[in-house]
């Protein structure tokens, strides 16, 4: 066989032709009037906000797709070993362990290409396996320079008295929206009856939110009578708000509950009495909530809560690590977000829930799942970050959320039961189970849709390493901060 000439190194010109779609429209304006559903299928892929001049000189061009061989012959003989598992479209994730080629991906791009039907993402793995470093780079830092993209983070992990995303958010010129129960002046309030929730998400979803919050506090489900009382009180409160000329709050709702009555005589006196009793029970629950979580829900939504920045962080790290406060704030903020997004179409939003299991477990699971369904039509990708998969009951809505995600990053899991749960939930090759226990930090299995999983080494730039490190307190830089 005649040896074939080695392919020439890609010329500079070739890099220039690989320039991504350039958009020189400086106005990233939002079409607030559009009522058309704006789902991921309308995304323009990973479109960079770049200057035409710089792009013309190859500044933003992805590296030419490489083939680590010196002859064409070898390419033919070793196709399995050299073929890149993904194309270059989307956001760079890292390097394929097998072919040593670039791995890139982005739910919006994959959706557009028909690879997935759900833009939601799940990241699982042991403590310290590299989950947050991945989400901070792939889902936040590398997405922000793209056109019409924004990121919302629910930042639950405490790092020296602030959320772990704080420095990243501040570097981006934004200020985290801070929640606490200690009376801090910086703390924010979120109104469960905010107009963005009631008008944007609708009265039915507002009721779902109130139900989830009341059930979380009561530690039990509301019965039909209590739900009817809540429904009537909500309607009365909205009418009252119109006449009072301001957005009603949870305090106003609690005040309306004892006044719940039937306007027509459709109920017997006994049934009316039962409804009244049920309304009183719900009032006790809500009053207890307002007292116990004073400063979280008892007023109009703070001005700081808006979506004007590309990167918005809800810092819930100072709320009690266990208990209902953090999940309730996240449920309300998510509902507020969906309400706002309904009226501001045209952008694609990554919503990231760190320590997701704490947030989607319990009474919030069903609400979160319904929000996830709503999210798709609003151009939202929900990214949930969890560990200990085996601890999540299979019958729970949280498990359904995990199973329905079509983009998964599975990091190291030392417990055999978590490895088995991952193989089952994500339909991984069963041989993957053995490797899950020995993955080094940052290494993970990446699976999109029905494609086979790829073992990826997540690669960060030095700057990204500095921004994403979470072990400050254990290192030189963090000495004295712990």
Task: Tell me how far the alpha carbon of residue 470 is from its chain's centroid.
Answer: 19
User: Does the protein bind ligand ATP through residue 125 (CB under 6 A)?
Assistant: yes
Cβ atoms of 155 and 312 closer than 8 Å: no
Picked from Mg ion, ligand ATP, none, the partner binding residue 471 (CB below 5 to 8 A depending on kind) is: ligand ATP
User: Does the protein bind ligand ATP through residue 37 (CB under 6 A)?
Assistant: no
User: Does the protein bind ligand ATP through residue 469 (CB under 6 A)?
Assistant: yes
User: Does the protein bind ligand ATP through residue 458 (CB under 6 A)?
Assistant: yes
Place of tokens 């009053």: 287
How far apart are the C-alpha atoms of 318 and 129, rounded to whole Å? 23
Contact region with ligand ATP (CB under 6 A), list: 42-50, 123-131, 281-289, 319-327: 123-131
Q: List own/partner pairs for 184-190 with CB under 8 A and 24 or more apart.
A: 184/318, 187/295, 188/301, 188/302, 188/304, 188/305, 189/295, 189/296, 189/297, 189/298, 189/299, 189/300, 189/301, 189/302, 190/296, 190/297, 190/301, 190/302, 190/305, 190/329, 190/332, 190/333, 190/336
Q: Which of residues 41-60 bind Mg ion (CB under 5 A)?
A: none
Orientation angle between helical segments 269-292 and 224-244, nearest 10 degrees: 70
* Candidate residues 58, 128, 299, 437; the one interacting with ligand ATP per rule CB under 6 A: 128
Cβ atoms of 405 and 414 closer than 8 Å: no
Q: How far apart are the first and last CA of the chain?
A: 66
Contact region with ligand ATP (CB under 6 A), list: 122-130, 226-234, 284-292, 428-436: 122-130
| Binding string, residues 412-451; x marks residues near ligand ATP by CB under 6 A | -----------------------------xx---------
CB atoms within 10 A of CB 69: 16
How far apart are the C-alpha atoms of 154 and 337, rounded to whole Å? 12
User: Does the protein bind Mg ion through residue 132 (CB under 5 A)?
Assistant: yes
How far apart are the C-alpha atoms of 352 and 313, rounded to whole Å? 9
Picked from Mg ion, ligand ATP, none, the partner binding residue 174 (CB below 5 to 8 A depending on kind) is: none
Picked from Mg ion, ligand ATP, none, the partner binding residue 163 (CB below 5 to 8 A depending on kind) is: none
Work out how close the CB of 459 gets to Mg ion at its nearest, in angstroms, rounded to a whole number.
Answer: 18
Nearer to Mg ion, 99 or 133 (CB): 133
Size of the site for Mg ion (CB under 5 A): 2
| Binding string, residues 155-194; x marks residues near ligand ATP by CB under 6 A | --x-------------------------------------
Contact residues toward ligand ATP (CB under 6 A) are 125, 127-133, 157, 387, 441-442, 458, 460, 469-471
């Amino acid at each position: 066989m005649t040896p074939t000439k080695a392919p020439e190194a890609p010329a500079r010109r070739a890099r220039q032709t690989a320039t991504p779609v350039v958009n020189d429209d400086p106005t990233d304006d939002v079409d607030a009037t559009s009522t058309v559903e704006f789902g991921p299928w309308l995304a323009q892929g990973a479109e960079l906000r770049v200057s035409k001049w710089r792009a013309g000189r190859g500044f933003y061009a992805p590296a030419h797709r490489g083939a680590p061989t010196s002859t064409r012959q070898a390419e033919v003989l070793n196709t399995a070993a050299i073929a890149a598992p993904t194309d270059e479209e989307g956001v760079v994730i890292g390097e394929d362990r097998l072919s040593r080629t670039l791995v890139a991906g982005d739910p919006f791009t994959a959706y557009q290409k028909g690879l997935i039907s759900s833009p939601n993402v799940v990241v699982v793995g042991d403590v310290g396996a590299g989950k947050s470093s991945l989400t901070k780079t792939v889902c936040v830092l590398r997405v922000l320079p793209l056109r019409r993209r924004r990121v919302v983070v629910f930042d639950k992990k405490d790092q020296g008295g602030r959320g772990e995303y704080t420095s990243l958010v501040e570097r981006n010129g934004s200020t985290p929206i801070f929640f606490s129960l200690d009376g801090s002046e910086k703390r924010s309030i979120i109104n469960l009856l905010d107009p963005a929730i009631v008008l944007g998400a609708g009265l039915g979803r507002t009721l779902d939110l109130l139900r989830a919050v009341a059930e979380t506090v009561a530690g039990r489900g509301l019965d039909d009578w209590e739900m009817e009382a809540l429904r009537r009180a909500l309607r009365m409160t909205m009418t009252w708000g119109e006449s009072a000329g301001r957005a009603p709050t949870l305090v106003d709702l609690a005040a309306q509950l004892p006044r719940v009555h039937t306007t027509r005589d459709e109920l017997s006196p006994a049934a009316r009495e039962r409804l009244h009793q049920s309304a009183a029970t719900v009032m006790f629950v809500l009053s207890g909530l307002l007292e116990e979580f004073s400063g979280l829900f008892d007023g109009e939504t703070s001005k700081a809560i808006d979506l004007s920045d590309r990167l918005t962080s809800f810092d819930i790290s100072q709320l009690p690590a266990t208990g209902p406060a953090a999940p309730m704030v996240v449920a309300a903020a998510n509902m507020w977000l969906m309400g706002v997004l309904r009226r501001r179409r045209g952008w694609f939003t990554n919503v990231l829930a760190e320590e997701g299991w704490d947030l989607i477990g319990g009474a919030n699971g069903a609400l979160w799942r319904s929000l996830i369904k709503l999210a798709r039509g609003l151009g939202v990708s929900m990214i949930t970050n969890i560990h200990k998969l085996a601890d999540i009951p299979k019958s729970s809505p949280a498990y359904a959320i995990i199973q329905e995600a079509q983009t998964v990053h599975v990091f190291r899991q030392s417990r055999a039961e978590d490895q088995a749960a991952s193989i089952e939930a994500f339909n991984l090759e069963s041989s993957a189970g053995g490797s899950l226990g020995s993955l080094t930090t940052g290494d993970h299995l990446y699976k999109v849709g029905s494609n086979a999983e790829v073992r990826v080494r997540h690669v960060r730039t030095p700057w990204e390493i500095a921004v994403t490190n979470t072990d400050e307190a254990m290192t030189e830089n963090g000495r004295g901060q712990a």
